[in-house]
Amino acid sequence: MSAYSSTVRAMIEYLEPVLSFVSEGEAGDAALSAEASDLQFGNPQEMPLPEIQQALAKWAAPQNKDWFAYKFSDPKAIQVAVESLRKLTGIDFDPADVSMTTGAFGGLASTLRAVLDPGDEVIYLSPPWFFYVPMIISNGAKAIRVDFEPPKFELPVDAIEWHITARTRAIIINTPHNPSGRVFTPDELESLADVLHRTHHPVYLISDESYNRILYDGRKHESPVRYYDRSFLIYTYGKTLVAPGQRIGYIAMPPSMPDREELRTALFVAQSITGYAYPNALLQYAMGDLEKASVDVAALQRRRDRIVGALDAMGYETVKPEGTFYVLVRSPLEDDVAFTKLLAKENVYVLPGRLFELPRWFRISLTGNDDMVERALPGFERALDSVRLSKLS
Which residue number, 116 or 173, has a Cβ lying nearer to ligand PLP?
Answer: 173
Question: Contacting ligand PLP (CB under 6 A), which of 21, 42, 241, 253?
Answer: 42
- Helix and strand element counts for the chain (H, E): 14, 13
Could you say which DSSP state residue 350 is in?
-
Q: State in angstroms the smallest separation of the CB of 225 from ligand PLP.
A: 16
- Give the chain's length: 393
Task: Based on the shown chain and the rule CB under 6 A, indicate whether residue 105 belongs to the binding site for ligand PLP.
Answer: yes
3-state secondary structure at position 177: coil
CB neighbours (10 Å) of residue 147? 12
Which residue number, 244 or 352, has a Cβ lying nearer to ligand PLP?
Answer: 244
3-state secondary structure at position 251: strand
Task: Based on the shown chain and the rule CB under 6 A, indicate whether residue 208 belongs to the binding site for ligand PLP.
Answer: yes
Which residue number, 332 or 353, has a Cβ lying nearer to ligand PLP?
Answer: 353
- β-partners of residue 249 are 101, 236
Question: Contacting ligand PLP (CB under 6 A), which of 89, 111, 138, 178?
Answer: 178
Calpha distance 216→213 (Å, rounded): 9
Could you say which DSSP state residue 323 is in?
B
Task: Based on the shown chain and the rule CB under 6 A, indicate whether residue 127 belongs to the binding site for ligand PLP.
Answer: no
Contact 348, 383 (CB under 8 A): yes
235 to 274: interface string for ligand PLP, x by CB under 6 A: -x-x-----x----x-------------------------
Which residue number, 110 or 168, has a Cβ lying nearer to ligand PLP?
Answer: 110
Q: State in angstroms the smallest separation of the CB of 241 from ligand PLP.
A: 9
Per-residue exposure over 254-275, b if at least 16 CB sit within 10 Å of its own CB, e if not: beebeebeebbeebbebbeebe
Task: Based on the shown chain and the rule CB under 6 A, indicate whether residue 209 belongs to the binding site for ligand PLP.
Answer: no
Q: State in angstroms the smallest separation of the CB of 166 from ligand PLP.
A: 28
User: Which residues bind to ligand PLP, rule: CB under 6 A?
Assistant: 42, 103-105, 129, 174, 178, 208, 210, 236, 238, 244, 249
